[in-house]
């Protein structure tokens, strides 16, 4: 164990990793022997920082030996425009493995939470005879059972919700700045799951100083994520202006801004766009992060301005995101809901 750690953290000594591919490959195998997966990921990240990911990208066999996680996928995506040809396909394979792992972990709860919320949101409270949902009506009125008559006299009728496609619209605006990398990976996978639900219309927009609509890539999270260009400046107000153009049914639209709120443009204009979305009836959610690491550094001044618009700014884990969206679909008070979930609101 000492030898393995010394090879990385005291690499000037004999036996360090240096630039030898066999040494690095053997070292990657050794750390698996001595450490559990969470520790491996920390050590591996240090190795990537010290050795340089670009060096590993030139050795596809080394990439294949790495511990696969969201942070590695984010690192590969950040360099996707400069990947050498011999490593590009290996990088895509790794990102696909991460996406598959995330989808297996997140899909069941996301589908259940969203479907349940949509059913509750559209349930018909004054149904005609043919629209009555008898099982739910009976359950709701069991307390009104009349023993002498041997029957239930329902006080409340429950009807089936209105049928039709795309009951709710979700517009996800993703900040491509480097600090948002792991959040973007999670968001890309989640957006593709949401897009697979016929009762939702999902749009995904990535932005830095320009805006790219990735909605046509929602059938494949890998294609979507490789369409993202991590790093660069930030123009949030431009993304919000584009998002406003996508709104066709404000009362049924949820706009999710995934950003650390560091605005390279005019913050006043950004806040005006958010206020306009709220005024026309959209719900607006300000996510500082969508990962297991918590919120990165964020613009506290802009967050405080959002508080004046009654928009909480907060970080959310991928596991909690389904319940967050369910709460939004049902138009619950998000700040109160966050308090119930013990999520720290940053403004």
- Concatenating the DSSP letter of every residue in 28-83 gives HHHHHHHS-HHHHHHHHHHHHHHH-HHHHHT-HHHHHHSPP-HHHHHHHHHTTTS-
Q: For the CA atoms of the chain, what is the radius of gyration? A: 24
Predicted model pTM = 0.76
Q: How many other C-beta atoms are found inside a 10 Å radius of the C-beta of residue 235?
A: 20
Report whether 278 contacts 309 (CB < 8 A).
yes
Mean pLDDT to the nearest integer, 293-306: 90
Q: What is the mean pLDDT of residues 258-273?
A: 93
- The answer on pLDDT for 121 being more than 70 is no
CA distance 98 to 78: 15
Q: What does pLDDT average to over the chain?
A: 83
- Cβ(173)–Cβ(142) below 8 Å: no
Give pLDDT, residue 215: 96
pLDDT of residue 297: 86
**How many CA atoms lie less than 13 Å away from 290 in the CB half-sphere?**
28
Domain ranges in the chain with CATH number 3.40.50.410:
108-115+164-340
Q: Residue 170: beta bridge partners?
A: 202, 254
User: CB burial class (10 A; 0-12, 13-18, 19+) of residue 188?
Assistant: buried
According to DSSP, residue 206 is labeled E
- One of 3.40.50.410, 3.40.50.2300, 3.40.640.10, 3.40.50.2000 is the CATH number of 108-115+164-340, namely 3.40.50.410
Average pLDDT over residues 281-293: 95
Model confidence at 165, pLDDT cuts 50, 70, 90, reads: very low
Q: Partners of 132 in the beta sheet?
A: 159
pLDDT of 216 over the 90 cut: yes
Helices 267-279 and 300-308, packing angle to 10 deg: 30
Q: Tell me the two tokens of residue 295.
A: 């919120």
Choice among 58-62, 75-79, 283-287 with the minimum mean pLDDT: 58-62
The C-alpha atoms of residue 176 and residue 183 are separated, in whole angstroms, by 10
DSSP state of 199: T
Give 150's contacts (C-beta < 8 A, 6+ positions apart).
none
């Amino acid at each position: 164990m000492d030898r393995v750690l010394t090879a990385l953290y005291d690499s000037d000594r004999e036996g360090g990793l240096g630039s030898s591919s066999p040494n690095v490959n053997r070292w990657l195998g050794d750390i698996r022997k001595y450490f559990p997966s969470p520790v491996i990921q920390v050590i591996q990240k240090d190795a990537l920082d010290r050795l340089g990911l670009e060096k590993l990208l030139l050795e596809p066999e080394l990439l294949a030996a790495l511990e696969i996680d969201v942070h590695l996928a984010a690192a590969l995506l950040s360099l996707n425009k400069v990947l050498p040809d011999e490593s590009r396909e290996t990088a895509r394979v790794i990102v696909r493995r991460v996406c598959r792992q995330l989808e297996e972990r997140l899909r069941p709860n996301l589908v259940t939470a969203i479907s349940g919320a949509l059913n509750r949101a559209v349930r018909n409270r004054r149904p005609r005879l043919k629209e009555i949902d008898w099982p739910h009506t009976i359950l709701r009125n069991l307390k009104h059972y009349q023993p002498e008559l041997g029957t239930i006299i329902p006080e409340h009728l429950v009807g089936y919700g209105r049928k039709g496609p795309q009951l709710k619209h979700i517009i996800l605006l993703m900040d491509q700045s480097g600090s948002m990398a792991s959040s973007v990976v999670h968001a890309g996978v989640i957006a593709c799951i949401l897009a697979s639900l016929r009762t939702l219309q999902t749009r995904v927009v990535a932005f830095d100083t320009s805006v790219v609509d990735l909605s046509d890539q929602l059938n494949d999270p890998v294609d979507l994520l490789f369409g993202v260009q991590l790093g660069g400046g930030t123009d949030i107000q431009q993304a919000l202006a584009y998002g406003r153009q996508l709104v066709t049914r404000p009362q049924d639209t949820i706009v999710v801004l995934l950003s650390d709120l560091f605005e390279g443009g005019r913050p006043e204009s950004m806040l005006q766009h958010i206020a306009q979305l709220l005024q026309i009836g959209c719900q607006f959610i300000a996510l500082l992060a969508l990962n297991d690491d918590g919120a990165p550094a964020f613009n506290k001044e802009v967050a405080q301005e959002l508080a004046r618009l009654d928009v909480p700014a907060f970080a959310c884990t991928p596991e909690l995101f389904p319940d967050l969206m369910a709460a939004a679909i049902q138009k619950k008070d998000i700040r109160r809901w966050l308090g119930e979930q013990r999520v720290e609101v940053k403004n």
